[in-house]
Structure 1
Amino acid sequence: MPTLEWLLLTYKVPTEPARKRVSIWRKLKGMGAVYLQGGVCVLPKTDDHLRRLKMLENEIAEAEGEALLLATIGLDQKQQDKIISRFNADRDDEYKEFIEKCVAFEAEIAYETTIQHFTYAELGENEQELTKFKTWIAKIQKLDFYGAPLNKEAIERLVRSEAILDAYAHNVFAAQAENRPAGEPGPP
């Protein structure tokens, strides 16, 4: 594997006001940063990350804190693998949560199907939820720098959820009087 470069940010900010410290933490986590310990995090070395970390360095200074931004590499393959494992573990945690929400979504549709609750309102609500899932997985994948193991399972689960919603939509359309041939009764 080629030697990978990372950007290493170390920083300290005053404990008060807490909102400034939390804001910095959220921005770093939103970029996909991995914390090696408190106030020390890494990101893959890219122009975008460098630009965003420099902006964050300024924000830290404005919060009366201190920051040091360095480019670094692992000393050997073992060290490099440790860092990649940390990135992948963070993404897998997010993929696990995503998969759990998809499973709950599928269970909800199964319940609606069992009780034959086939309404346009319910379909619309479920379509909105699926749209949120698509946005959510795209955000996770954007931060999946090294191909976390659960990526494939999460994608498969999303595809399954889409198929289940499509089947539910078919039932909704079939249950509506305007979609049945004249004189044909609705579902039992």
Structure 2
Amino acid sequence: MFFYTVPSKPVNNRIKIWRRLAKAGAVQLKNTVYLLPFSEEHYEFFEWLTQEVDAMGGDGTFVQTQNIEPMDDGDLKRLFSKQRENDYRDIDKKLDTLERKVNSVTKGSGTRGSKQIEEQFHRLARDLHAVTRIDFFSSEVGKKMKEKMGAVEGALKRMGRDKKECPSPSITSRRVEEYQGKIWVTRTRPFIDRMASAWLIRKFIDKNAKFTFTEDHDAKKLTPQHVAFDIRGGEFTHQGDLCTFEVLVKTFGLSDQALKKIADIVHELDMKDGKYETPEASGIEEILTGIRKTITEDAQALEKGMSVFEMLYAANA
């Protein structure tokens, strides 16, 4: 529970604090009293916000409490859910408009404007992700909005297939046991697909996998002890509209929800075809770009990139 007061002028200070609280998902209990469910992240947020209020010449404090009389847990959850319903309502209206546009295209009015429709969908998906992130008690409205967004996404994918059917590549299955003790080779200056693929190899295929680097034209000169990936002529590389990471996942029959999430992100960053809606992708790309810019040694850059995907996997597992 957060309490604060700030001087009436300048007015933008009061607005700034209000916006910070709203973005964090806090609900207003009374005037300048706000609530957030307890978590380490929220505790730290209130710590910093208190300092910010103090710097404005105001007064802020917060407390951790188990009960707020006369409200019970159900009352508090409904308070948060009602606030999120207001957020969802605006997205719902925009999604209705977008759904009509998609239906118009799929019913035969042509694909004119389909790119703009996809861009609008991605913006709405990002907005929905931002709201669901602060829908702390998974409101019923939020669940219905996710279903509705999924239905529109499915219609968009069908629209895309109607425009250009892309046959699924044939992937030959492999056994993990066949790839133990190998040296995995990829291109120099590793980036998204290579970093993610290296992480996948060490996480799910060979925990002791070693990596080395070469140029594209060297791939065919490798010994049987070496396995080339994400490299022209390599054993594991892009096939059809699949990036190397996806090829590895399918080849070794790997499947879990967190891995699927990462596969979508890697595909979007590497292929940039708008096939998947991944709000986290841009942030992951910035981190990996930072690694690439600050670390010139390939092996070290690869390891750093792999650690990013390990943390991403842990966050979604």
What does residue 97 of structure 2 align with? 104
What does residue 138 of structure 1 align with? 129
State percent identity of aligned pairs. Answer: 21
Aligned in 2, Cα 1:160/1:41: closer, same or farther, shift over 3 Å? same
Q: How does 1:7-156 map to 2 (within 5 A)?
A: 8-74=1-67, 78-113=71-106, 116-119=109-112, 122-156=113-147
* 1:113 Cα deviation after fit: 4.9
Aligned in 2, Cα 1:49/1:163: closer, same or farther, shift over 3 Å? same
Q: Secondary structure at the match of 2:94?
A: helix
> How many angstroms apart in 2 are the aligned matches of 1:162 and 1:75?
41
1:168 corresponds, among 137, 159, 184, to 159
TM-score normalised over the length of structure 2: 0.48
Q: Secondary structure at the match of 1:41?
A: strand
* 1:173 Cα deviation after fit: 4.1
Per mean C-alpha deviation after superposition, the further-off stretch among 21-30 and 161-170 is 161-170
Per chain length, whose mean CA-contact separation is higher, i.e. which structure has more relative contact order (CA < 8 Å, sep 6+)? 1
Q: Secondary structure at the match of 2:62?
A: strand
Q: Deviations over 1:48-101 (max 9, x none)?
A: 111111111111011111112111122579532221111011112222222222
> How many angstroms apart in 1 are the aligned matches of 2:111 and 2:26?
44
Task: Say how many residue pairs are matched.
Answer: 165
- Residue 11 of structure 1 contacts residue 66 of structure 1 at CA under 8 Å; is this kept in 2? yes
What does residue 186 of structure 1 align with? none
> Considering only CA atoms, is the larger Rg found in Structure 1 or Structure 2?
2
What does residue 181 of structure 1 align with? none
- Residue 32 of structure 1 contacts residue 143 of structure 1 at CA under 8 Å; is this kept in 2? yes
TM-score normalised over the length of structure 1: 0.79
One-letter amino acid of the counterpart of residue 32, structure 1 = G
> How many angstroms apart in 2 are the aligned matches of 1:16 and 1:108?
46
> How many angstroms apart in 1 are the aligned matches of 2:74 and 2:67?
9
Q: Secondary structure at the match of 1:73?
A: coil
Name the one with the larger strand percent: 1
Q: Deviations over 1:122-175 (max 9, x none)?
A: 22211111211221221111101112111221011111111222233344448x
- Residue 101 of structure 2 contacts residue 117 of structure 2 at CA under 8 Å; is this kept in 1? no
Q: Secondary structure at the match of 2:57?
A: coil
Q: Secondary structure at the match of 1:60?
A: helix
One-letter amino acid of the counterpart of residue 146, structure 2 = I
One-letter amino acid of the counterpart of residue 42, structure 2 = H
Aligned in 2, Cα 1:19/1:128: closer, same or farther, shift over 3 Å? same
- Which sections of structure 2, spanning at least 5 residues, go unmatched? 166-317
Aligned in 2, Cα 1:45/1:118: closer, same or farther, shift over 3 Å? same
Runs of 4+ in 1 over 3 A off after TM superposition: 75-78, 111-115, 170-174
Q: Secondary structure at the match of 2:60?
A: strand
One-letter amino acid of the counterpart of residue 11, structure 2 = A
What does residue 182 of structure 1 align with? none
- Residue 88 of structure 1 contacts residue 144 of structure 1 at CA under 8 Å; is this kept in 2? yes
